[in-house]
Structure 1
Amino acid sequence: MSRSPGGSFAVDFRYDVDLFDPATIEQFAGYFLRGIDAALADPDRPVARLRLMDGGELAQLLALGTGGDHG
Structure 2
Amino acid sequence: MDNFNFDDSKSQEENLEAFFNFCIQKDPVLGKIIADNKDLLTRVDSDASNLKSEFRTKVAQQVSAVYKQSE
For the aligned pair, the TM-score class normalised by the smaller chain equals: 0.3 to 0.5
Q: What TM-score results when the alignment is normalised by the length of structure 2?
A: 0.41
Q: What TM-score results when the alignment is normalised by the length of structure 1?
A: 0.41
**Larger C-alpha radius of gyration, 1 or 2?**
1
Answer 1 or 2: higher relative contact order, Cα 8 Å, separation at least 6: 2
